[in-house]
Chain A
Amino acid sequence: MSRIILINLVRFISLVFLQVFLLKNISLYSLSTPYLYILFILLLPFETPNVLLFFLSFILGLTIDAFYDTPGLHAASCVVLALVRVLFISVTVQKDGFDNEPEPTLSIMGFRWFFTYALILTLAHHFFLFNLEVFRFDELEYTLTRFLFSSIFTVFLMLVSGLIFFRRKERK
């Protein structure tokens, strides 16, 4: 149990740092900006209680906000993300099918499941994020373009990181 807490703590810090110091400066044609930090919420164990899940999402969002100078924006998006995650997992995963505290990682759940999972959650998060950021419908087309390309970029980075930390032993 303490091992899981430690892993998640390290993941939290490293993802925030990666986001703030590296990915924040990356922008492809000012259309596509990746928000990889949500990977932290995606990779929380299935057993995480809902209270903790929402709380952690909120905290993660606020942390990112503190660096992006947008208090509340990422927090709101992350809370939406947490809700979508709860719904998605309750629909697709049977809770009694695992023996010991599995995590929704690429190596455990397989590529197909993880890809759908990442794609849907990222789309939800980014859609909410970009529209809340702009906060009007004037530039809807531009906003949607940014949302789409950013989502592709983020999902791509998620898959890459999943493959980097791929552990073959755990695959059954």
Chain B
Amino acid sequence: MRNLLIFITKYNAFFLFLIFEIASLIIYIQYNSFQRASVINSTNQVTGNFYDRADELKGYLSLREVNDKLARENAQLRNQLKASLYLDTVAKHQVDDTVYRQQYEYIDAKVINNSINKRNNYLTIDRGSTNGIEKGMGVMSADGVVGKIVFVGKHMSIVQSLLHKDSRFSAMLASSKEIGYLNWGEQLDPHTGLLVDVSNNARPKIGELVVTSDLSLFPAGIPLGKVKSLHAKGGGFFLNMEVNLSVDFSKLQYVYVVINKFAKEQAGLEAQERKDE
């Protein structure tokens, strides 16, 4: 035993070598069979952290280059922006309704002035007679009816908003097709309108959709709002009800002008009818 100990201490380097070599080979072979299961790899917190730092430093060194690249790209994108171009053609979107042989055209416009808190509110849009806009055309947004053109300039037009004392749009209840008129009412709330002159036969429900009728400037079915509450004003033969307007007038940005190609013909015929009476 003693001889063995002496032997080991004399050649201690060799035995130490054996111990550490076997330990490292075990680690190595274990790693080979369990690929990344081992703790000692770069996903390890400490080494990962160091790599992160080194990466950050590298990123910082190339900041100037990246900045230049981004600035160039920005300029390029800015050039493509619609805002930096002058549009001299107006895209007209057409709807062909082959069954009724009626045609509506839409012109897109941007709201450049707006008010909601007066008794009579008007909007200004950036399209005028050069773009084919005429007095009396309807104006709508993606959410629903906005108003009616009342003055046309060369490049701009004034829209009489739905929030106006004299605004009156032919409307109907979406499910029962009962016709009435929508106006702003007297409460001056920009979110509420008044649907009047609906036949007593109608059985409106709270939350029912109110849309434009066939008799209006607009194609039938453009949303106006939803029934909020029923209140029989003055009783009589007709129902009145409050309507939550679907358009948020305070947030209007883009609207469409609706051109009814047969409006003139219709107006002419009706005028003749009146004359004949």
Q: With A and B bound together, what is the CA distance between A72 and B12 in angstroms? A: 22
A133 to chain B, nearest CB (A): 10
A67 touches B25 (CB 8 A): no
Known: A72-B26, A75-B27. A66 touches B44 (CB 8 A): yes
Q: How many residues does chain A have at the interface if contact means C-beta atoms less than 8 Å apart?
A: 27
Q: With A and B bound together, what is the CA distance between A61 and B31 in angstroms? A: 15
- Residues 44-74 of A, flagged 1 when their CB comes within 8 A of B and 0 if not, give 0000001100110110011001110111110
Surface stretch bound by B, among A76-84, A117-125, A151-159? A76-84
A17 to chain B, nearest CB (A): 8
Measured between beta carbons, the chain B residues less than 8 angstroms from A87 are 13
B41 touches A66 (CB 8 A): yes
B110 to chain A, nearest CB (A): 55
Q: With A and B bound together, what is the CA distance between A50 and B23 in angstroms? A: 17
A51 touches B24 (CB 8 A): no
Partner of B40, one of A20, A50, A55, A62: A62
Give 16 A-B pairs besides A69-B42, A75-B23, A83-B13 with Cβ atoms closer than 8 angstroms: A20-B50, A54-B13, A54-B20, A55-B20, A62-B40, A65-B40, A66-B41, A66-B42, A75-B27, A75-B28, A76-B24, A79-B24, A80-B21, A83-B14, A83-B17, A86-B13
Nearest first, the 3 closest Cβ-Cβ pairs linking A and B are A72-B28, A72-B27, A75-B24
Listed in ascending order, the chain B residues whose CB lies under 8 Å from chain A are 12-14, 16-17, 19-21, 23-31, 38, 40-42, 44, 46-47, 50, 54
